[in-house]
Structure 1
Amino acid sequence: MLLIDCPHCGPRDENEFRYGAQAGIAYPDTPSELTDAEWAAYVFLRDNPKGWFRERWFHTHGCRTWFVVERHTVTHEIRRSP
């Protein structure tokens, strides 16, 4: 069980949150010019590192805000991102 530190509500159980995928994925500058393969890569392909990884989380059962944390993908240790 993960203990996630919400910036507004403090430490809470992971059941109060929803995972929002990898943080820092920029929307394409010219989406109308992307091929189907490029769209598929944008929508579905994400990094899968062994180590620290920036993730977005949504506090569904609390303040209802999005925030970014860093989670270690092996130990599941969580730390706040700047």
Structure 2
Amino acid sequence: MLSIPCPWCGPRDEAEFRYGGQAGVAYPADPGALTDEEWARYLFFRDNPEGPFRERWHHAAGCRRWFDLTRDTATDEILPGGGR
């Protein structure tokens, strides 16, 4: 099991969390102006690197807060420099 360090609650088992996808994906400024292709790209296309990757996590069974962390996708190691 993966131990995820919640910034508010401390390290907890991954079963308490829900994955929120890639961090730093900005919502479109004018979503109504997007073409279908642009909207699909926003909704479905994300980076999929091997190595360090910035992710969003929701502590669903704890404080219920969202936060970002960096995880190495090859090793599942949580890297320093997390954040809220």
TM-score where L is the length of structure 2: 0.93
1:28-43 equivalences under 5 Å are 28-43=28-43
5+ residue gaps, structure 2 = none
Q: Which residue pairs with 1:25 in the alignment? A: 25
Q: Which residue pairs with 2:7 in the alignment? A: 7
The amino acid that maps onto 1:73 is: T
The amino acid that maps onto 2:4 is: I
Name the CA distance, whole Å, in 1 between partners of 2:60 and 2:34. 33
3-state SS of the aligned residue for 1:81? Answer: strand
Q: How far did residue 30 of structure 1 move? A: 1.7
TM-score where L is the length of structure 1: 0.95
Name the CA distance, whole Å, in 1 between partners of 2:60 and 2:52. 24
Q: Which residue pairs with 1:66 in the alignment? A: 66
Percent identity for Structure 1 against Structure 2: 63
How many residues align structurally?
82
5+ residue gaps, structure 1 = none
The amino acid that maps onto 2:34 is: L
1:15-72: CA deviation from partner (whole Å, max 9, x where unpaired): 0000000000001112111100100000000000111000000001110000001010
Name the CA distance, whole Å, in 1 between partners of 2:7 and 2:73. 21
